[in-house]
Homo-oligomer: A and B are copies of this chain.
Amino acid sequence: MKRFKVRFYPENREIEVEEGENLLRAAMAAEVRINASCGGDGTCGKCRVIIDKGSAKREPSPALSQKEIAEGHALACRTLITEDLEVRIPPESRLGKIADKERPQPSCGHLVSSAEWEERLANFAADSPFKKVCLSLPEPTLDDNIGDWQRLKRELGKNGIKNSKIDLPVLKSLPETLRKGNWQVTVTVLQQGNECKVIKVEPSDTTKTHYAVAVDVGTTTVVAQLIDIVTGKTIGKRSNFNAQASCGEDVISRIIFSTKDKGLKKLQSLIVGTINKLIAELVEESGIDPDHICGILAAGNTTMTQLLFGFDPRYIREEPYIPTTTLFPWIKASDIGVEVANHTYLYCFPCVASYIGGDITSGVIVSRMAESDRLTLFIDIGTNGEIVLGNKDWLVSCSCSAGPAFEGGGVKHGMQATKGAIEQVRIDRDTWEPMIITVGRVKPTGICGTGIIDIIAELFLSKVINQKGKFDLEIDSPRVRKGEFGPEYVLVWAKDSALDVDIVLSEADVENLIRAKAAVYAGINILIESVSLNLSDIEEIIIAGAFGNYLEIEKVVTIGLLPELPCEKFTFIGNGSILGAHAAIQSQGVLKEAETVAKKMTYLELSTNTKFMDQYISALFLPHTNIEKFPKVIDQLEK
């Protein structure tokens, strides 16, 4: 078998592979991170690369035009290596670091700021599952010669920690530790309900150094925060893309990847690797001794959590959609490869069903909707739109497959909300000229989810597209044109873009987004109907999630993604998943409530619900078939 060298730019990383190897796999092996949205199916067209030197065998794909092929473009997943290559990865195909910034208060709705969150979190009981206590034991004598562990246990009992157990390695080193500390030791206890487990014993008093890590295991992005358990404060925050992204963009493509040879193991090691990197960064940045991290509290959707544990997720994808488990055991983090001390324990928030995960449970808990008298709608929009309706007495939920449109997927120039992504757009009603703002205020490379919503709302209000999302090609503007793949609007001319191509939004892109928003809107209506209430009964709408946090309510309502309700009812809580994990580090009650909520929440499966199909079809208009439900939109259209 012949072997060839492939060099990737701009990483300037080289790898040698066998003849016929797939270019995407080669990139993965070289640890070059390419956006492979569909997991290597050749359908999403996101793993576009440019072959600068050498020629490769390309399998045909509708995602590439003839002109692009002539210019050296190729889809990494559909390309086989047959000679030495030099491959350039354009910015839109690259997975990069996410910008971390706080959004200013939006014009409609209340955004819970970081400062407000610190206050809210402080209101959770300070009763961490991880307890550190310094004990001075009486020295053994002939009259008091019980075993070392019995002595420690007796003293723990005197301090209110009853029925404690102890980990074997801690027990093993106990005689030495007790004598080294001259019978003064600091004990770290993991409390789970009535059970207490001694997970660490250190000589002398170390109660002041006591940390845990909260993790939001997102499909796209993983966020980790270092929490000082003593003060309850966040002392570091890091985020990065989930390294699994190179195996598929959404949960379904990850599940498919997991069924391939060693796929599950690979996915587990990738997410664990991502978490390891984040923890290492947090440790380095904060300068703490990593040995003092006693716990990790994670929250993620059901599939992400199964993958983190290494559970086979394949039945999540097949009717009737069954995960291995929705409640997770406390485990030693090192048992799944997390690079922390041997005594560090990990817990994941319980899930409700295959498509309502621990991230939602976590968000519901931290938003306190499950303790509220008010009828609350909780919504987390991403690839899936997860929706929870209820109050302290009952909770009902559903999940609607929105597709990747809100995250910039399935859209020709869509991209994640990284540097260069168009995030805000205004279109002049007379000239149809756009004003655009990008993340990082740099030359645009594509359009992120909020940008797409903005554009569609603007195209609709400026009548470039009609209620069905169809383009009016009669409009007298070079920006409204018939492109290679049908009607489109040119947002950025090639000369102004970072890509040297026109950045456009096509009719197909609009249709994609309409389908996505229709699914979410229909889901909300199904929940409301299931409890025989009306949209107007909703007293609060909580919008969670990184994407949701940047939504402009006016635009969102204009396209009919969310119902038209007064601004004061909208609250943006941001990443509810990590906030819940933070709260759980601080308070055992949070974990207990999470289990209760996960068990009591009703889940409605929409995929086989005929009423949902009716609602969905009605919502495939801008803003809706029944536009009278959106009086403000009518006003704007009439302006």
Contacts of A315 in B (CB 8 A): 148, 175
Contacts of A148 in B (CB 8 A): 315, 322-325
Is residue A341 within 8 Å, beta carbon to beta carbon, of the partner chain? no
Contacts of A321 in B (CB 8 A): 142, 145
Most buried by B among A147, A176, A314: A147
Contacts of A123 in B (CB 8 A): none
Contacts of A174 in B (CB 8 A): 324-325
Is residue A70 within 8 Å, beta carbon to beta carbon, of the partner chain? no
How far is it, in angstroms, between the C-alpha of A38 and the C-alpha of B166 when the chains are bound?
34
Partner of A171, one of B141, B320, B329, B353: B329
Question: Nearest Cβ in chain B — how far from A193, in angstroms?
Answer: 10
Interface hit among A304-312, A415-423, A515-523, A559-567: A304-312
Q: Is the CB–CB distance between B353 and A320 below 8 Å?
A: no
Q: Is the CB–CB distance between A149 and B322 below 8 Å?
A: no
Contacts of A322 in B (CB 8 A): 140, 145-148, 175
Q: Is the CB–CB distance between B172 and A324 below 8 Å?
A: yes
Is residue A284 within 8 Å, beta carbon to beta carbon, of the partner chain? no
Question: Nearest Cβ in chain B — how far from A291, in angstroms?
Answer: 22
Q: Interface size on A (CB < 8 Å)?
A: 42
- Closest partner residue, chain B, to A331 (CB atom): B168
- What is the 8 Å Cβ interface bit string for chain A, positions 277-306, against chain B (1 contact, 0 not)? 000000000000000000000000000000
With A145-B353, A331-B168, A335-B168 given, is the CB distance from A324 to B140 under 8 Å?
A: no
Contacts of A312 in B (CB 8 A): 172, 175-176
How far is it, in angstroms, between the C-alpha of A32 and the C-alpha of B148 when the chains are bound?
37
Contacts of A149 in B (CB 8 A): 324-327
Partner of A309, one of B142, B168, B324, B353: B168
Q: Is the CB–CB distance between A319 and B142 below 8 Å?
A: yes
How far is it, in angstroms, between the C-alpha of A146 and the C-alpha of B165 when the chains are bound?
31
Contacts of A353 in B (CB 8 A): 145-146
- Closest partner residue, chain B, to A599 (CB atom): B150
Contacts of A445 in B (CB 8 A): none
Q: Is the CB–CB distance between A142 and B327 below 8 Å?
A: no
Is residue A502 within 8 Å, beta carbon to beta carbon, of the partner chain? no
Partner of A329, one of B146, B168, B325: B168
Partner of A147, one of B171, B172, B176, B326: B326
Is residue A605 within 8 Å, beta carbon to beta carbon, of the partner chain? yes
Residue pairs across A and B with Cβ atoms less than 8 A apart, 18 shown, are A142-B320, A142-B605, A145-B321, A145-B322, A147-B322, A147-B327, A147-B351, A148-B322, A148-B325, A149-B325, A168-B309, A168-B329, A168-B331, A171-B309, A171-B324, A172-B311, A174-B324, A175-B322
